[in-house]
Amino acid sequence: MSGALLVAGTHSDAGKSLVTAGICRWLTRRGVSVAPFKAQNMALNSAVTRGGAEIGRAQAMQAAAAGIEPEAAMNPVLLKPSGTRHSQVVLNGKPYADADARSYQELKLGLRAPVLAALADLRSRFDVVVCEGAGSPAEINLRAGDLANMGLARAADLPVLLVGDIDRGGVFASLYGTLALLEPADQALVSGFLINKFRGDASILAPGLDQIRALTGRETLGVLPFREGLWLDVEDSLALDAPRPEAKPAAGTDTLEVAVVRLRWMSNFTDVDALASEPGVRVRFTRSASDVARADLVVLPGTKATVEDLERLRADGLDAALARRVAAGDPVLGVCGGFQMLGEQIDDEVESRAGVVAGLGLLPVRTTFAADKLLRHVAGTAFGAPATGYEIRHGRPERHGADPLIDDGSSAGEGCAAGVVLGTSWHGLLEGDAVRRAILQWVAAHRGRDWAPGDEPFAAVRERHLDVLGDLVEEHCDTDALLALLRDGAPSDLPVLAPGGAACSPS
């Protein structure tokens, strides 16, 4: 078979990323060659491909669901906010421009061709391409230059599956209103609905499904039940507001509490997913000084706005909380931007253009930002265990005391280890089973905890998670209807709802 479809959502965090991954997994298990695609992604969680391209973390996860290596074509445009007014624009995996909201609208005209070329390239090499939209297709103020939603669907003639999150309430109004706000030519491609995160009695929902079909002429092609534990590789920080699953039962007597400092421009916070997969480890995101004080381990994560987040850290008194913690002999781990903050000084003429700024002074490290971004996979040894990861950074930390955290084969080594404070520029380090467990055992020893690691590889945890997404699609969607959309495209007789939106795009 061959074909493509677009998974759109009534709003951000409706479940588009996970539904796209689930469809990829379901098709892959049927023997279909499938690839994910997101034309334009605004996300601070990103990944580096083997070819050294930076793409959205969700597309890397979706590629794993499809059993293939991620590549730049899967996310040709990535927007990474670097403060309240500016974003770095990454095109085909490499930094392309810095833009504010208004100037990006002008840039979009030049991005349309590479976006469509990337999609065409994937369609030439895979049986099916499952595209993910961005935000909502009914953001009518942005429709004229849209790259990721109906602008893409119109340009590539894609049938659209519209996802709504019933757990938030108002799902039928969201589905109907989204459709009704679209101009007629856009509505013609919206081929069906999918309801996500349903809890309760399906018979109570059934009359609503009948009415939305009568009102719109569209079938609901699936009702996915709410599932606990679908927390790995989330893309949107909105997902952090949902309750995280309870820790697995501890293998030892004690549990370990991990507090992740919730930064405003936090990036790649999925680094801590692997910690939460260990039995007896509880992970929480927080801005509470008391949480920082009592946790067994505090993680200062990556950020795309290191200087701005450092200022907010100080404004909230978390700098003093971290200093007290270190003075008491309690462990702290900084990753990428968090590592840079822990040092003595940051010289940034690239992202914040703030020049020289004092760091937290907890590691003997000085960081200088360079114009070119390091994008690469890395390997070495840490805590006597094999270590791997990837780098996404403008900052160049230089250690002038203490020890390197990682032996990466260079004369200086990577990162820094000074007493109870560890720092690294490597994302993904904690996904290594041996090094993650060694670090947690080191934490347990410092905190006097009787904690023991598990034995399940993190890669197996991720695979099981992806299988659950595939199961949800296979068991709770009208898969024959999905296959028909992929094969035949949008039905030709779908009704148009009033007001039908004013035409706002030549596509």
Where in the sequence numbering do the catalytic residues fall?
336, 427
Complete DSSP assignment for 130-188:
EEE--S-TT-GGGGGG-SSSHHHHHHHT--EEEEEEGGGS-HHHHHHHHHHHS-HHHHT
Strands 190-198 and 220-225: parallel
Q: How many residues does the chain have?
A: 507
Instruction: Report how far residue 40's alpha carbon sits from residue 481's, in angstroms, rounded to the nearest whole number.
Output: 27
454 SS3 class: coil
Residue 225 is which amino acid? P
Strand partners of residue 98? 88
Tell me which H or E stretch contains 56: strand 54-56
Measured CA angle at 389 (ends 386, 390), to 5 deg: 155
Nearest to 5 by CA among 482, 461, 425: 482
Residue partners of 216: CB distance under 8 A and separation at least 6: 175, 176, 179, 193, 495, 497
Strand partners of residue 79? 42, 89
Residues 105, 106, 107, 110, Cα dihedral to 10°: 120
Spatial contact of 178 and 138, defined as CB atoms under 8 Å apart: yes
Instruction: Report how far residue 61's alpha carbon sits from residue 36's, in angstroms, rounded to the nearest whole number.
Output: 9
Q: Compute φ and ψ for 220, nearest 5 degrees.
A: -90, 115
